Amino acid sequence: MSRSNRIGLYGGTFDPIHNGHLYVITELLERDVVDQIILVPAGEPWLRENAPVASGEDRLKMCQLAVAELDLGDEVLVNSIEIRRSGPSYTIDTVEALKATYPNDKIVLILGTDAHANIDQWHRSDELKKLVEVLVIDRPDFPGSPTLDIDALKISATAVRDGEFDLLPPAVVTYIKERGLYASK
């Protein structure tokens, strides 16, 4: 009998994915908190005040480029499930789909203290919390009670969109410039 794996579900808008996100991924894998991470860019994040700046396809491609630069093989996968799904992105739907794909594994929902503060407002949140283990990562400048403090990097996607591209992996910077996204326009 094989042991079950701990699959980390790391969702977000990733508008764009930046070095802070990549730091979380590498720390969780290096510390053996999870065995694998599935990165899921949100399609239509329904609790967010503003729509993402970049299209879903652009955010998906940037995630793929960033993960490729990590060079961790199948320890980190980018899943397009929410980008491909029409309508609002509900984490419960993604978790149910992952549970069907990984029936013998434990799904660990990776959240920052900012996202965790609103989890009770999420669609079918009570059901969601029964299906996953919630792992809360400390987010600099956002008070909360993390279950794991990894000395997360203080990086703002807003600052990145305003042109602080040194906070991004090189392949993502190239993609942004080629596509004329954010402050590169």
Q: Is residue 134 part of a domain?
A: yes
Q: Cα separations (Å) of 15 from 54, 62, 134, 143?
A: 6, 9, 23, 22
Return the pLDDT at 141: 78
Which residues form the domain of 149? 6-154
What domain count does the chain have?
1
pLDDT, tens digit, for every residue of 44-79?
877 667 788 999 999 999 999 999 999 999 999 999
Q: Is residue 160 part of a domain?
A: no
Q: What is the pTM of this model?
A: 0.93
Q: Is residue 161 part of a domain?
A: no
Q: Is residue 149 part of a domain?
A: yes
Q: Is residue 170 part of a domain?
A: no
Residues in the chain: 185
In angstroms, rounded to a whole number, what is the distance separating the alpha carbons of residues 173 and 165? 6
Q: Is the pLDDT of residue 88 over 90?
A: no
Q: Is residue 21 part of a domain?
A: yes
Q: Is residue 172 part of a domain?
A: no
